[in-house]
Amino acid sequence: MMKKNLLLVFLIASSISFSQEKWTLEMCVKRAIDENISIKQSELDYVDSEINRKNAVGNFIPNINIGSSHSWNVGLNQNITTGLLENVTTQFSSMNLNLGVDIYNGLRNIKQLHLANLRILSSQYQLADMKENISLLVANSYLQILFNKEFIKIQESQLEISKSEVERAIELVENGVIPKGDLYEFEANLAGVEKTLIDAENNFTLSKIALAQLLLLDNYEDFDIADREYELEISNIIDRTPDEIFAVAVSNRSEIKLFETNLDIAKKNLELNKSLLQPRLSAFYSYSTRIAYSDRLIGTGEFQNVPIGFVENTNQRVLTPVQSTKIVGAPSFSDQFENNAGQNFGLSLSIPILNNFSTRSNVNRGRVNILRNENQLLQKKLDLENTINQAHNDAEGALKAYSASKKSLESRKLSYDYAREKFELGAMNSFDFTQVKQRFESAQSDLITSKFDLIFKIKVLEFYFGVPLSID
């Protein structure tokens, strides 16, 4: 009994521990990739392209078909035994084997196989591109939660400071250092800090729900990310020029490889359409046989003289020997299968001359499609280059903003400490002190905002440079 109770306690504890597991960025990215519907659809596209490749391989194999039939003829038919029309039922079976193989078709089968392989490659790049984009989206949502969590800590700290300032103001009022009206200013400031904290907690909850929905999790209440302090380390990626980052991105990014593969597919499609303009030579072979199940007449080997006429003038009868017959069953299945067999084989040549210009139109349409894909690839590269230039400029601006925010916070902290001393000595009124304090609080918020803005923009640059997404 004791062992059962201990086991039950262990299972409950394990369940609680699992439901309250803290999610790291790597766990979130893996979950999003595993559960995202669009990625699952793209994976099915890849499976479909693999099936199409098998079809292309099958084009090199001869086309072989085996068929058979069995028929009943019921009603007025000629009795093959007696030769008379009778209401009889006859049965027949037939079997056939047909084989066809292409000898030459403009290398169409080879081109179709190359095209199938390119489409598999295209599906792989499309899947990889979707996974990369989902990973970046998850990282952004994850950083938003970290930002909101750190912002809450600042507001909680400010709340404690505001509470202590109210308590200190009460003492100063009681000692006659400041008028009672100043106390109301501190209480109003305390209420404002409490509201800001409530808003921060709501934003934190909403950001968690947003990420949980992105991960397709149902239990939003128990979802939380790993508790950790993120110390900003400025990556040397900012020291890279946009051209260096673009050179790496254009050679490694799945979205570029996808458009390059689509261009190769368009070129291979043109080759395939051109092959339809060439003659087609194929070989064929067929084998067939027939089985009947009706009785038949055969000779007995005994002959009788049967009159067939008379000699003119003498009236002498003219006789001829006629073999007697008898009714027997149908020959054996194996005998009929062999004796009734027939074969047919040969070559077939087809030369396209005029087919309503459809093949020529497909060739011309293929040339247009190549130009279209070349333009799309060029535009994609230009878009990528512009995006990297903008991301690099944003990262540099974010770094400057972060540095300025750090300096501003240091100055605001010194100003706040100095103002607090003056206020407690009665040398500054509550309104001026509150203004200094609010600027100090704003500087703290600005630093947190600029910090996480810089983190994300650095991650974007690293993303294009091929650095795996992580928050260390």
pLDDT of 93: 87
Task: Please report, for the domain that includes residue 365, its CATH number.
Answer: 1.20.1600.10
Question: What pLDDT does 228 receive?
Answer: 66
Pair 274, 305 in one domain: no
Hey, what are 151's tokens? 């912002």
> How many domains does the chain contain in total?
2
Percentage of residues of the chain with pLDDT beyond 70: 90
Q: Is residue 96's pLDDT more than 90?
A: yes
Residue 302 — φ and ψ, nearest 5°? -100, 135
Residue 152's nearest CA partner among 196, 212, 206, 208 is 196
d(CA 55, CA 356): 28
CA distance 33 to 137: 11
Domain identity same for 310 and 364: no
Query: What local confidence, expressed as pLDDT, does residue 80 receive?
Result: 59
**Cα dihedral 205, 207, 208, 211 in deg (nearest 10):** 160
- For residues 197 and 10, is the Cβ–Cβ distance under 8 A? no
Are residue 184 and residue 303 in the same domain, yes or no?
no
The residue ranking higher by pLDDT, 420 or 375, is: 375
The predicted-structure confidence for 438-454, as pLDDT tens digits, reads as follows: 888 889 889 989 988 99
pLDDT tens digits, one per residue of 172-183: 788 877 787 878
Residues 300 and 272 in one domain: no
What pLDDT was estimated at residue 5? 45
Q: So what's the pLDDT on residue 364?
A: 92
pLDDT tens digit string along 328-341? 777 788 888 888 88
**Residue 251, domain member (yes or no):** yes
Count of residues for the chain? 472
Containing 327, the helix (H) or strand (E) segment is strand 317-328
The answer to whether residues 183 and 302 belong to one domain is: no
- Give percent of the chain above pLDDT 90: 35
226, 321: one domain:
no
Helix residue ranges, H only, 59-179: 108-174
pLDDT surpasses 70 at 120: yes
Residue range 84-109: mean pLDDT, rounded: 84
Residues 234 and 322 in one domain: no
Residues 385-432 have pLDDT tens digits of 999 999 999 999 999 999 999 999 999 999 988 988 887 777 787 778
User: By residue range, what is the domain housing residue 386?
Assistant: 29-61+105-278+352-464
**Residue 232: Cβ within 10 Å count:** 12
pLDDT-derived band of residue 316, with 50, 70 and 90 as boundaries?
A: confident
| Residue 9 resides in a domain | no
Mark whether 269 and 308 lie in a shared domain. Answer: no
Task: With a cut of 50, say whether residue 370 has pLDDT above it.
Answer: yes
Q: Using 50, 70 and 90 to split pLDDT, how confident is the model at 8?
A: very low
Phi, psi of 329 (to 5 degrees): -75, 175
